[in-house]
Structure formats: C-alpha cells, structure tokens
A and B are shown apart, each in its own frame.
Chain A
Amino acid sequence: MNRPYYFFVLPAVALVALMFLLPLGWLAALSFGLPEGFTLEHYEALAGSSGIRSMLWNTVRLVTITTLVSLVLGYLVAFAMAHLGETQRMLLTLFVLVPFWLSVLARALAWLILLRHNGLVNEALTGAGLIDRPLQLVRNELGVIIGMVHFLIPYAVFPLFAAMMTVDRRLVMAARSVGAVPWRAFIDVYVPVTLPAIFGAGVLVFIFGLGFFVTPAILGGGRVVMLSEYISVSVLQTLRWAQAGALSMVLLVSVIALVWLVARAIGFRRLTGVG
C-alpha cells in the first residue's frame, strides 16, 4: 500500500542478496559441479568417504549431547528465574546474559585457560589433593561440550523462562490439592505443560550447535572436528570448494528441516492446550 516505504528496505535487501544469497547460490552451484556441468559426484563423495561420515556422525552426536545438557541446565535456571523474587530474577538474568554478550572467541579462550593441564581447575584439584595427575578437560570432546553448553545455555533459558512465566500457578496447586506431592506435581503437570517450550528450545539449541565453529576449533584442539570447522578448512586451507559447497548444503537442508519441525511445534503446542 505504502509503496515509497518499500524503497526503505531496498538497501538491506540488496546487501543480503549481494553478500549472502549470491555467494550461497554460487556455493550451491559449485557443489553440483556447475558451471562445467551438472553432477552429483561431490555428494556421492561425501557419502563414500568414511572420514566425512564419521565427522558428520561426531557432529550430530556432540550437538545432541550438548543440547540435552543445555536443556537440563537451562530448565533448572529458567525454573529458578520464574519462581524467584524480582531482585534475584534480575541478578540471575544478568548472570545468564553477561557471558552471552562476550565474544565466542574470548569465551573459548577463557575456558582454555580454566581447563588446560596447568589451568585453574586442575591446579585447584591437584592442590587440594583430590587428584594426582591433571584431568584431561580440554582439547577433547569434553572440552568442546563444556564450551558449547556454556554458549548455548541462554538459548535454552530464555524460551523456557518465557513459557514458564505463562504457566498458571494454579495448575500445580490443583495437582497438589488432589494429592500430588510437590515433585509429583512437577513431573505430572509442570513439565508436560512446558514440554512444547522444551521442544522448541531444544531445536533452537541444536541448530545453533550445528553451526559451531570457533569453540570446537579452540577447545577441541584440532582433535574434534565438527561440520562447520570442516567446511571452513575445506574453503580456506584445502581449497576443495565443491566439497565445502556440498557439506554446506547438507547443513542448510538439515537446519531448514529442523526449523520446519519448530513450526510444527507450534501446532504441537496447540495440541497440548498451552497458549
């Protein structure tokens, strides 16, 4: 209706098209062997390479573990936030948000300092005489998971918190009035009522986790290679752009499929009668 206003979004649209969609399309084209000629060999190569298969499997496995841990911890934090007083809630929100605002790189390096062999954690534990030798906390999968969970917890906390704030307190009271002890009311009523939010937060965390690149690179110490890092290496170091394109398409399609699942989750939410 207001035609002049369309021009206002043009610069942004142009920027996205030029800097994002165009390269992406080009990458997609490369992955199909264009412009020389259409071929699926790069995808066949992906499926054929046991190294890539195990890398993909590792990615899914690590991101799944990360998602589950983030959900459990995030649920606890969100629950505390939703049921504490106003002041405590503000403080807790701040504690969740401040690391969220820090650069991924800074956080990964900070974890490295904490978790490495002569880092604070190991020093403290050996100093206290609890362990003889430093624990291998970093430059392995554990380190990657710790770093990723730390990064992803806010993405779990905020959707869960938002959902919990809308839960009618009388639901739990009703469960207790008919004979449910508090933990039973929590399991039977509170958790199922927040289930759509758990599902939504889980998919969100999972999608972000798939795109992780800096954290695994630093905390994995080169031993844990995940999808995004693999793509980056293919583009920047081994210069196998067609392979990078094919992997990117795999990642993109998986993410789109997951977003579709989230959209389905809205329907799921209606099904359970929440919201």
Chain B
Amino acid sequence: MSEFAASGGALRLEGLSKSFGHTRAIDDVTLDVPPGEFVSLLGPSGSGKSTILMAIAGFVALDRGEILLDGKSVHGLTPERRNFGVVFQGYALFPHMTVAGNVEYPLKLRGMGKAARQAQLERTLDLVRLGPLAGRYPRELSGGQQQRVALARALVFEPKVILLDEPLSALDKKLRLDLQLELKALHERLGTTFVNVTHDQEEAMNMSDRIVILNEGRILQTGGPEALYNAPNTRFVADFLGRTNFLEGDLSPAGNGLVTLRRGDEAFDVPEPDGGIGGGDLAYAIRPERISVGASDLAGDDYCTLRGRIASVVFNGAQILYRVETAFGEVLAVEPSYGAGKHLLVGEHTTVRWARDAGALLER
C-alpha cells in the first residue's frame, strides 16, 4: 500500500520509574503498545508524560524499569542508536539547513548514497506534501509547515516507532484540527507505531487508537477514546477527559442494585458501583450532554430528575450551555442548538433529567 517499507514496532514499557530529587516524575509505569498502534499519553503538565517519552527516546536515564522494542531491551543504547523518530516540542528544526537539508540529514548520517537519498527525500516530502518547499529555510515556513518538516525528518529513515512530544501545541486551533486528521491519516498509511504526548484531550481523542491517562507520574486509565469517555474509572479521568458534573450527597441502599443519593429534600436513585457504597469518597458523575433541561417527555423510573433554576444560558453555535442551580449545586447541561424549540431564559424554574445509567458513582 505504502511505498514506505516501514512497519510498526511493538513497544513495551515495564515498570518505569524516575525521580528528580523528591519528585516522582514517573512512578511504576507499565504499558504495552502493539505494532502500528497510535497511542497518546494524556495528562496535565507535570504528569510525567514528556519524561516518559524522553526516556523512550533515550534522553532520560531511568531509575528502574525496562523499555523493549520488539522484545529486545533498548537499555544502554544511546539516543542515536535507538532508531526512533522523534518530533520535538517546538519542532527543533535545524535553522541553518533547508527543508531538504533537514529531512535529508538522517539519511546522510546513515551513509546513504546520493541517488537513493534523493529518492527517499522526494518520497518523504511528497508524503507530507512539502515537495515545493524543499529549498526553503525553516524560518520561511508557517507553523503547520514546520510541523510537517519535523514529521518528515522523523519519518525519513523509516523508524519502527515515532515519538511525538506535543506535536501540535504551538499551532492555532483550526490548523490543529486539520493537522490532527492529517497525522491520523498518515499513521494509517504508514502502519508505524506512534506514541504521542499531549495535554489536549481533544487532540488525544481525535487521533488515538488508545489513550493513556497520566497524573503525577502514574497511569490512571488506559483505553480507546470512547471507552474512556463513557466509562472513566476515577473522578480525575472523568474531569480531565471532557466535562463532567459531580453530584455529591448522602448515599443509602435502595435495593435492586440501586442506591439513593440525597441532598436536602432532593434525591434520585443511581446504579450501585461495583465496590459498593461503603468505602471511599463517592460522587455521581454525569456528562453535561446527557442531561436534558425542561424535557417533560422524559419520565419514568429509569430517569433521574432534579428541580432547578436557570442560572445562565450560553449559545456557542452548535450547542446551548445551561447552568442550572439545583439542590446539588450548579449543574451544567449541554443541548444541541438545533430543534430545541424555544430557549429557556435565565431565572426560569425548570427540571433537569437524565437516564439513570448515563452516569456512575466514581471515587475521588
């Protein structure tokens, strides 16, 4: 399919740990990345995601743990011998070389002959649609073009794994979306294993086969974008990936696998969590887009209902965002802006409803 001979490598991280002083930057991280997967390490700044990537690339010495490529440890290999393609944050293009010079440099280092080098250069530049810009210097390129040069330089020697460190963070929002789709298409075409580091949940969701959520150096949850979004296992994940309402109150068993969440004179029944309600600091997590405002046609035992008052209405084009004051505090609800009939107004009394199993009780 592709003119590139590259095939993905299987990457395995085994119990990686790294401390800087008293700070644990990476804390016992184990992860299997099958060949050809696009995996994103997603977390806030300081979550250790970049340190993990730089450890894979060979720039950070680990305290403990093993990194294996296709079953073979890369331990003790210097960065230049690991043969991973790295796209650095800010791209780190060589300013004194043209686009062609930048992309060709890895091939020169490998002692490739001139003709073969030229052919591979052209192939790679075509792949990222940079052919006409081959003679330009990096400073003469737009951010998006620089990003593609960095990608081409990382791809040109056909590495088995590409490591991307916040590859799109320097770009504006619209361009970022275009390049996300481009990067994903490129990944599908090449079949190379991609490990991407980002703090942008949307970017991670748009591109990845699988997302690894990190916080304080630890993996919190791993899964496909949909699985993670629909079934976060902690409040941190629910909050970090998309927006979530957390409703807190007194819990009591209600039978039939349900528990009652009560606050003041308002209460609703929700499914009992696997671990029961005995221990832990539980809150009911419900996504804003699962909540309907003022919909009287949703009724019955399977629905949860709260009374409230509209505190604010924001129209953002595709959606309408309502903030509704309830006994459980402010609840955010997002409705599609089309076909909503009349918009509710600030101060109106209304109800918010959602299907009981649309949310779940999560531990902190």
Binding site for B on A (CB under 8 A): 168, 170-171, 173-181, 184-185, 188-189, 192-193, 195, 270, 272-274
Contacts and interface: CB of A to CB of B under 8 A. Distances in A.
Given A178-B157, A179-B109, A188-B105, A273 B88 contact: no
B20 to A, nearest CB: 15
B95 A273 contact: yes
B78 interface: yes
A189 B94 contact: yes
Q: In which size bucket is the chain B interface?
A: 20 to 34
A203 to B, nearest CB: 19
Contacts of B78: 176, 181
A139 B86 CA distance: 57
Contacts of B92: 168, 170-171, 173-174
Contacts of B106: 178-179
B173 interface: no
B148 interface: no
Contacts of B36: none
Contact of B59 (A173, A189, A192): A173
A177 B90 contact: no
B298 to A, nearest CB: 53
Nearest to A272: B96
Nearest to B82: A177
A272 B109 CA distance: 21
Contacts, number: 77
Nearest to A196: B96
Given A188-B105, A273-B138, A177 B79 contact: yes
11 contacts: A170-B88, A174-B92, A177-B80, A177-B86, A178-B80, A178-B154, A179-B80, A179-B110, A180-B109, A185-B80, A188-B105
A177 B59 CA distance: 9
B194 to A, nearest CB: 15
Given A179-B106, A273-B95, A273-B139, 8 more contacts: A175-B94, A176-B78, A177-B57, A177-B80, A178-B106, A180-B80, A192-B96, A272-B96
Question: 10 tightest A-B contacts by CB?
Answer: A273-B95, A178-B106, A170-B92, A174-B92, A177-B86, A179-B109, A273-B139, A192-B96, A176-B79, A170-B88
A168 B91 CA distance: 10
Contacts of B59: 173, 176
A272 B140 CA distance: 11
Interface in B32-72: 57, 59
A173 B88 CA distance: 9
Nearest to A189: B94
Contact of B109 (A174, A178, A195, A274): A178
B95 A174 contact: no
Among B79, B106, B139: residue with most chain A CB under 10 A: B79
Contacts of A181: 78, 80
A66 B23 CA distance: 49
Contacts of A189: 94
B83 A179 contact: yes
B153 interface: yes
Contact of B79 (A168, A173, A193, A273): A173
B79 A274 contact: no
A193 B97 CA distance: 10
B182 to A, nearest CB: 21
B89 interface: yes
A181 B81 CA distance: 9
Contacts of A188: 94, 105
Interface string B85-113: 11011101111100000000110011000
